[in-house]
Amino acid sequence: MKPGVAALAAALAACVVSGGCSRGDTNVRSGDRDQVLHRGIGPDLADLDPHLATQSSDYTVLSSLLEGLLSEDPVDLHPVPGVAERWDVSPDGLTYAFHLRAGARWSNGDPVTAQDFLGSWRRILTPELAATKASQLYVIRGAAAFNRGARDFSGVGVRAPDPRTLTVVLEHPAPWFLSVLSSPAWMPVHIATVSKYGPVARRGNPWAAPESWVGNGPFVLKSWRHGQEIVVARSPTYWDAARVRLREIHFHAFDSIDAEERAFRSGQLHVTETLPPSKIDAYRRNAPGLLRVDPLLGTYFLRINVRRPALGDARVRLALALAVDRPAIVDRILRGGQTAAYSFTPPGLGAYEPDPVQRATMDDARRLLAESGHKGGAGLPVLDLLYNTSETHRVIAEAIQEMWRRELGVRVTLVNEELKSTEEARRAGAYDLLRSSEIAEYADPSAFLEIWRADSGNNFTGWSNAGYDALLFAAARTADPAARNGLYARAERILLSEAPVIPLYHYTHVFLIQPSVRGWSPTLLDHHPYRDVWLGD
């Protein structure tokens, strides 16, 4: 056993024996007494504007501060009443009428109204905001046209006939529609507050700050020390405040997953965002009660910028995809129950069965590269692989760099930047290959495949395929589940064959959690409604 691992094992063994990983008062001990949860979130958030949210960590914080029409059951995440106390659905599955509760309030005391949702959805669909997740709302009739430049919002299928009724007309039946309504893109913002700080649809409007925050969730924004900590406090105006047991939540930012693990071990965190793979086995042996490996509906992958001349040929892209030894990554590096990904959609989507197109041999990869005119990498420039700061991302990138050099003769330079910079590069198309991840916001193949439509605001690869888009269009309007899945599978075969993306592995959520954290059920989306979380013996 390596000295560092041996020291960790000894420290963990001491934790188990003593019931704690440090002496004296710690965040965990004082938090347990005072109902103050300390949670790691990885790198700091770029923004607290829900309509600009792109990362799963954005939801981690925003779900404490804002509430959509519906919320989620804490055990299995089925839709439960949120701002809407009940809803009706027309027999054809196209029209929804949401009835808002009389007691729903913003943190400044204003009632939450149907007009708040109508105005918020208009905001995210306004082209000037350039919201990445605006395409989520395309399921609403007329929403896509408005987001693409139509100026008349009356063509969008949303109405507020009175302050407590919101009607929504969909383009097509969507069995998953209710499940997505708790996602950030669908959350309301207090338009009057946003407008105080600049144009409502301007990116960079500074309204989402502690001194100006107005929200409608179970907590309110108390402070934000950028790069360090976001603190939220229980809201007295929340309609279900009597149910909320936590007094505060402290979201701690970490650029280093090793630093986050040390903070947990020293008693400064109740829950981590992740765990260094090198330390998983030590926790399994010496402190299994602190280690959690939960299912997670998500995929870790590489985006390929097909606008780069060297990467415009699908044979080059597919050769790169086939030359990645995915089992080596999950078995030797990650060690957390992840599975090698040969499709973009992960397991856990019911009866959907993707074709693992990118499962092939190294000989196939070398043949494709030769057919493209680049045998042994000849004629290809050095490619840049961009990844955001993380020890794990770095190790995976180094492994891929070596695989491509050894198997294909393709040279790669690794480029590391902070998360905010990689997001800007993604939006601008300023990359060759980009480390990416997609965690579902609802459990359906469309949650993964709609990203790659030509008009998706979350594509960022420059890739489009009319046949792919047509299959998605048909699948969305197909009622029979088996036929619908068949159309999605045909579309995914196109995506994987043309390879604007290289799926590497399907996630599990490997993290640390203190025994005192209650109400934290394993869920496929890693969502944990805070109104049902508390700290206890």
List 505's β-bridge partners, or say none. Answer: 300, 340
Residue 478 to residue 484: CA distance in whole angstroms: 5
pLDDT in tens, 321-374: 999 999 999 999 999 999 999 999 999 899 999 999 999 899 999 999 999 999
pLDDT in tens, 214-250: 999 999 999 999 999 999 999 999 999 999 999 999 9
Residue 106 to residue 21: CA distance in whole angstroms: 40
- Residue 506 sits at the vertex; the CA angle it makes with 430 and 80, to the nearest 5 degrees, is 100
Outline where 139-217 has alpha helix (H): 143-147, 177-180, 191-196
More confident residue, 10 or 128: 128
Residue 492 three-state SS: helix
The total number of residues shown for the chain amounts to 537
Q: For residue 392, which of 276, 260, 511, 259 has the smallest C-alpha distance?
A: 276
Q: How confident is the model at residue 18 (pLDDT cuts 50, 70, 90)?
A: very low
User: In the CATH scheme, what is the code of domain 294-509?
Assistant: 3.10.105.10
Residue 61 to residue 392: CA distance in whole angstroms: 23
Q: How confident is the model at residue 55 (pLDDT cuts 50, 70, 90)?
A: confident
Residue 8 to residue 525: CA distance in whole angstroms: 30
Residue 287 to residue 290: CA distance in whole angstroms: 6
Write out the H or E segment, with its range, that includes residue 18. helix 3-18
Residue 230 to residue 214: CA distance in whole angstroms: 15
pLDDT value of position 17:
33
Q: How confident is the model at residue 537 (pLDDT cuts 50, 70, 90)?
A: confident
CB burial class (10 A; 0-12, 13-18, 19+) of residue 505?
Answer: buried
Mean pLDDT of the residues in the chain = 94
Asked if residues 370 and 399 have their Cβ atoms less than 8 Å apart, the reply is no
Least confident of 20-34, 46-60, 108-122, 183-197: 20-34
* Residue 121 Rama label (left phi>0; alpha psi -120 to 50; beta): alpha
What is the pLDDT averaged over residues 299-305? 98
Contacts of 262 (CB under 8 A, 6+ apart): none
What is the pLDDT averaged over residues 373-385? 97
Q: For residue 263, which of 466, 14, 21 has the smallest C-alpha distance?
A: 21
Same fold, 50-224 and 294-509: no
pLDDT value of position 2:
55
Task: Give me 296's structure tokens.
Answer: 């997670």
* Residue 504 Rama label (left phi>0; alpha psi -120 to 50; beta): alpha
Asked if residues 16 and 284 have their Cβ atoms less than 8 Å apart, the reply is no
Contacts of 97 (CB under 8 A, 6+ apart): 87, 88, 165, 166, 167
Residue 382 to residue 410: CA distance in whole angstroms: 7
Whole-model pTM: value is: 0.92
pLDDT value of position 11:
56
Q: How confident is the model at residue 100 (pLDDT cuts 50, 70, 90)?
A: very high
- Residue 442 sits at the vertex; the CA angle it makes with 324 and 391, to the nearest 5 degrees, is 40
Residue 252 three-state SS: strand
User: In the CATH scheme, what is the code of domain 50-224?
Assistant: 3.90.76.10
Q: For residue 402, which of 417, 385, 418 has the smallest C-alpha distance?
A: 385
List 71's β-bridge partners, or say none. Answer: 80
pLDDT value of position 5:
47
What is the pLDDT averaged over residues 112-139? 97
Q: For residue 489, which of 350, 361, 362 has the smallest C-alpha distance?
A: 350
Quick check: 464 pLDDT over 90? yes
**At which residue do the structure tokens 């198309």 appear?**
429
Asked if residues 190 and 200 have their Cβ atoms less than 8 Å apart, the reply is no
Specify the amino acid at residue 139: V
Quick check: 184 pLDDT over 80? yes
pLDDT in tens, 414-441: 999 999 999 999 999 999 999 999 999 8
pLDDT value of position 511:
98
Residue 88 to residue 108: CA distance in whole angstroms: 30
What string of DSSP letters covers 81-131? ESSEEEEEE-TTS-EEEEEE-TT-B-TTSPBP-HHHHHHHHHHHHSGGG--
pLDDT value of position 19:
41
Specify the amino acid at residue 454: A
* In the chain, domain spans: 50-224, 294-509
Quick check: 16 pLDDT over 80? no
pLDDT in tens, 256-277: 999 999 999 999 999 999 999 9
